[in-house]
Amino acid sequence: MTDPEVLTRQTVDLLRDLIRNACVNDGTADSGGEIRSVRTLEGFFAGSGLELEVVEPHHGRASLIARIRGTDKAAPSLALVGHTDVVPVDLDGWSRDPFTAELIDGEIWGRGALDMLYLTASYAVVIRDIAMGPFRPRGDLIFAAVADEESGSRYGVGWLTEHRLDLIDADFVLTESGGAPVGVRPSITTTVGEKGIAGRRLVVHGTPGHGSAPWGARNAAVIAAEAVSRLARFEAPVQITADWRHYVEVLGLPAELAERLTDPARIDDAVHELGTLAGFAHASSHTTISPNIIRAGNKENVIPSLATVDLDIRVLPGIDTGHVDAYLRHALGELMVDIEIVGDRFEAATRSPVDTPLFAALSAAVARAYPNADLLPVLSVGGSDARFYRRRGIPAYGFGLLSPRWDYGTFRMLFHGNDERIDVASIALTVAALDFTVREVLG
């Protein structure tokens, strides 16, 4: 294996290039421009002998797949799946330019540094190093640099799963996210599952009228506002999952607080005591409904007869589409006479088993860096490309390995947040752990 310092340097350089490509995905088809990072990676792989394939389902929305063929067709394969798109920034909130990838005091700053370009860069460095070295994997090693993860993956893993599964299929998968130390021992988080997602639109019907005489009006905007505030106050029934119980255990909290955090009757009054972890604690124990887009009215002197509210609903394991509609009807109560619930998007929560050779290899990789640490399986409250694999029964984990300066609260805060950055020490740990894992699983 190449000198770890060299691999770290290569990863840092590649990461900075990926950040500068600014593949910002705002949800529209023509955003993203992931082709820029595909070109960067083609340059990075030039001369490595790696088999490359590029797909571009929509102009500019490209993904690159690299493969090393295994020596044994029957041996299990491993895919490293990294997205190249990033979410937009709120420039006012940043203390540095989010797209120049400055390296300051051992940290690389920029949108996507943590989510998840440092991992995508690490995967690329590891597969290139293996392609150019003497190690021959028994099973195939696949690297996929994919578009559009930040907006539903319809030009990325979603498209590939439907049209070119041959390129990205594997027996085991690594992707984002994980690696934050938790508790005193510490435990290192690895994402083994994620909440599901449901999409609904509330269509609110009122009666149009003149804005100069609003008394008694059935203003759709006013009804929508009431609906939104009811949904904001609504609490779905608490579910204490085994993953959440395990998570609380390793936090090393005072026993009394740990008890309340795992008691369905008391958790709601305890989450605020967790500081930066409060939102995660709440989302880990509840199916959540967030009203995120509200539209009503188009002229200031006309009382609107129509309003819409788009909901982001994240469901825990065991919750189905029937539960979701029942929660909405319950929360909205008698307002339902003016409201139609539209849409039936539903993807159930997914979870991979942990009794796999890949999980064992990750545990060993972590133990090399943190001798007393164990790997803590976490249910992510957000979504990732892992769901496309888990749904088909393929174990997929979110993995990385961060330095001791990190905690899970900071880690979560920087995802899609201001001043996103990653330290070189974490990159070094991650590249070494991935390199070890790949050789362990495919050796």
* Residues forming a β-bridge with 86: 24
**DSSP for residue 113:** I
In the bound complex, what is the minimum distance in angstroms from residue 112's beta carbon to Zn ion?
Answer: 8
Q: Residue with structure tokens 């506002």?
A: 225
Q: Which one of the spans 8-16, 67-75, 169-177, 237-245 is the region binding Zn ion (CB under 5 A)?
A: 169-177
Q: Which is nearer to Zn ion, 17 or 115 (CB)?
A: 115
CA distance 406 to 389: 29
Q: Which is nearer to Zn ion, 151 or 187 (CB)?
A: 151
Q: Which one of the spans 35-43, 132-140, 170-178, 351-359 is the region binding Zn ion (CB under 5 A)?
A: 170-178
CA distance 206 to 218: 5
Containing H/E element for 331?
helix 321-332
Of positions 101, 116, 182, 362, contacts Zn ion by CB under 5 A? 116
Q: Binding residues for Zn ion, how many (CB under 5 A)?
A: 3
In the bound complex, what is the minimum distance in angstroms from residue 114's beta carbon to Zn ion?
Answer: 9
Q: Which one of the spans 69-77, 122-130, 172-180, 204-212 is the region binding Zn ion (CB under 5 A)?
A: 172-180
In the bound complex, what is the minimum distance in angstroms from residue 427's beta carbon to Zn ion?
Answer: 16
In the bound complex, what is the minimum distance in angstroms from residue 386's beta carbon to Zn ion?
Answer: 10
Strands 172-175 and 78-83, bridge-based pairing: parallel
Q: Which is nearer to Zn ion, 148 or 435 (CB)?
A: 148
Q: Which is nearer to Zn ion, 87 or 319 (CB)?
A: 87
By rule CB under 5 A, what string of x and - marks binding of each residue 240-269 to Zn ion? ------------------------------
CA distance 198 to 290: 11
Residue 85 binding Zn ion, by CB under 5 A: no
Q: Which is nearer to Zn ion, 112 or 139 (CB)?
A: 112
Question: Is the preceding omega at residue 116 within 30 degrees of 0, hence cis?
Answer: yes
Q: How far is CA 304 from CA 37, 87, 205, 227, in A?
A: 45, 33, 9, 16
In the bound complex, what is the minimum distance in angstroms from residue 118's beta carbon to Zn ion?
Answer: 11
Q: Which is nearer to Zn ion, 148 or 176 (CB)?
A: 176
Q: How far is CA 110 from CA 47, 104, 260, 273, in A?
A: 29, 11, 38, 31
Q: What single letter denotes the amino acid at residue 120?
A: T
CA dihedral for 313, 316, 317, 320, sign (positive or negative): negative
Q: Which is nearer to Zn ion, 115 or 338 (CB)?
A: 115
Q: How far is CA 238 from CA 254, 261, 286, 316, 329, in A?
A: 22, 11, 5, 10, 18
Q: Which one of the spans 114-122, 133-141, 231-239, 259-267 is the region binding Zn ion (CB under 5 A)?
A: 114-122
Closest CA to 12 of 129, 128, 95, 113: 113
In the bound complex, what is the minimum distance in angstroms from residue 378's beta carbon to Zn ion?
Answer: 15
In the bound complex, what is the minimum distance in angstroms from residue 24's beta carbon to Zn ion?
Answer: 13
In the bound complex, what is the minimum distance in angstroms from residue 176's beta carbon to Zn ion?
Answer: 5
Residue 115 binding Zn ion, by CB under 5 A: yes
Binding residues among 117-156 for Zn ion as defined by CB under 5 A:
none
Q: Which one of the spans 115-123, 197-205, 288-296, 324-332 is the region binding Zn ion (CB under 5 A)?
A: 115-123
In the bound complex, what is the minimum distance in angstroms from residue 229's beta carbon to Zn ion?
Answer: 31
Q: What is the dihedral of CA 59, 65, 66, 72, to 10 degrees?
A: -150
Closest CA to 381 of 239, 231, 198, 196: 196
CA distance 304 to 268: 37
Binding residues among 173-202 for Zn ion as defined by CB under 5 A:
176
Residue 34 binding Zn ion, by CB under 5 A: no
Summarize as ranges the residues that interact with Zn ion (CB under 5 A). 115-116, 176
